[in-house]
Amino acid sequence: MVTVVFDTNVVVSAAVKPGSLPAALVALAMAKKVKLYLTSVILEEYADVLTRPKFDLDPAAVEAFLRDLRKAATSVRPSRRLARTPDEPDNRFLECAAATSADYLVTGNKKHFPFPEFEGTKIVSPAEIAHLLSL
């Protein structure tokens, strides 16, 4: 089974744009057709961003979405801190990917991850992984 870590922008796009490619990727994770890894810090970031007023999302819907995502995902605790990305919080995604040897870190903002892979985890866009998964 393909293993993934989703950057926050993928999860936010899925919540804001039903029917989008990120929404299809999150649906695969929720259906356990791909194995999603996350950490408590990543889940907190998802929640923080999804509840921002600019997205105007229903708080109950966000809570249900995050609960379903948490139930579908495998939660991990990385054993080491990294400092490899220009945007410091993005290191949490690398830490999760490294701790799990995830196949892919999926991000809509590859400039925040200025390398094609990290310790065996390929850094791909939603379109790239969709192509790889034949979506």
Q: Could you give the angle at the alpha carbon of 21 between the alpha carbons of 76 and 62, nearest 5°? A: 55
Q: How far apart are CA 17 and CA 114, in angstroms?
A: 26
Report the pLDDT averaged over residues 9-28.
Answer: 97
Sheet of strand 117-118: strand arrangement:
74-75, 35-38, 3-6, 104-106, 121-124, 117-118
As a whole number, the mean pLDDT across the chain is 96
Q: Could you give the angle at the alpha carbon of 25 between the alpha carbons of 117 and 96, nearest 5°? A: 40
Report the pLDDT averaged over residues 105-131.
Answer: 96
CA Rg value for the chain? 14
Residue pLDDT, tens place only, 41-92: 999 999 999 999 999 999 999 999 999 999 999 999 999 999 999 889 999 9
* Under 8 Å between Cβ of 14 and 49: no
User: Domain segments of the chain: what residues?
Assistant: 3-132
Task: Quickly name the fold that domain 3-132 has.
Answer: Rossmann fold (3.40.50)
The pLDDT score that the predictor gives to residue 135 is 80
Return the percentage of the chain with pLDDT > 90, whole number: 96
The pLDDT score that the predictor gives to residue 65 is 97
Q: What is the pTM of this model?
A: 0.96
Give me the DSSP letters along 42-56: HHHHHHHHHTSGGG-
Both structure tokens of 92: 């949490």
